[in-house]
């Protein structure tokens, strides 16, 4: 009984420490001067902090640098991306037609160079104009987006609380004009962005 109680207390303490380490990781990566938006991935590495360590991730990152004209985009993982769709690297949006292993096929080729380790995020497009007050945003696909969360269309930030499961074509429960942005009509075909990062802290086992 005493041993069990001690184990529970140690695990709880480590959990609280790990949360603080993860928060420290987020603050570290956002303040790091050699990293600029949106390239915050640590490419799978870890950094020690106190009695633990943290690792900061983006949905994916390049494992091979991309040159202008390249049609193959190699990343660490394509998990969570739709079978076909769009990705954004730095500020370049690319249309991919297939995924083979951890490689996106981009028939049109890259129009800019991108360094190894650059973050790769999914992109979708608006499929119906929600107007300035619509709380449902219809898109081609919600696959790969972290919801509840904030999406960005043009200069408007929109907080969405859910998706219309099992559909993968609607963000629902949306608050327009989030972060003091201005609600506006969103034309069909406009790109929808989201740039999440995750920070994982580990202490003990």
pLDDT tens, residue by residue, 119-171: 999 999 999 999 999 999 999 999 999 999 999 999 999 999 999 988 899 99
Query: CB neighbours of 170 closer than 8 A, spacing ≥ 6?
Result: 136, 137, 138, 139, 142, 163, 164
Q: For 132-172, give the secondary structure using H, E and C.
A: CCCCCEEECCCCCCCCCEEEEECCEEEEEEEECCCCCCEEE
Say whether pTM exceeds 0.75.
Answer: yes
Tens digits of per-residue pLDDT, 173-190? 999 999 999 999 999 999
Residue 92 confidence (pLDDT) above 60: yes
Name the band, by pLDDT with cuts 50, 70 and 90, for residue 7. low
Look at residue 2 in the predicted model and tell me its pLDDT.
45
Write 90-97 long-range contacts (CB < 8 A, 24+): 90/38, 90/39, 90/114, 90/118, 93/123, 93/191
| Average of per-residue pLDDT values in the chain | 93
Look at residue 6 in the predicted model and tell me its pLDDT.
56
Residue with tokens 């928060």: 23
């Amino acid at each position: 009984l005493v041993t069990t109680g001690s184990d529970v207390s140690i695990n709880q303490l480590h959990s609280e420490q790990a949360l603080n380490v993860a928060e420290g990781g987020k603050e570290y990566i956002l303040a790091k001067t050699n990293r600029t938006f949106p390239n915050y991935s640590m490419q799978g590495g870890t950094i020690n902090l106190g009695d633990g360590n943290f690792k900061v991730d983006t949905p994916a990152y390049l494992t091979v640098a991309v040159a202008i004209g390249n049609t193959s985009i190699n990343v660490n993982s394509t998990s969570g991306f739709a079978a076909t769709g769009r990705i954004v690297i730095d500020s370049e949006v690319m249309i991919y037609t297939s995924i083979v292993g951890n490689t996106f096929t981009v028939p049109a080729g890259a129009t800019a160079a991108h360094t190894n380790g650059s973050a790769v995020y999914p992109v979708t497009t608006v499929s119906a104009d929600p107007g300035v007050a619509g709380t449902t945003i219809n898109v081609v696909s919600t696959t790969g987006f972290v919801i509840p969360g904030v999406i960005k269309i043009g200069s408007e930030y929109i907080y969405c609380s859910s998706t219309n499961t099992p559909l993968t074509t609607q963000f629902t429960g949306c608050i327009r004009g989030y972060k003091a942005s201005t609600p506006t009509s969103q034309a069909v075909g406009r790109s929808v962005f989201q740039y999440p990062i995750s920070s994982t802290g580990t202490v003990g086992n």
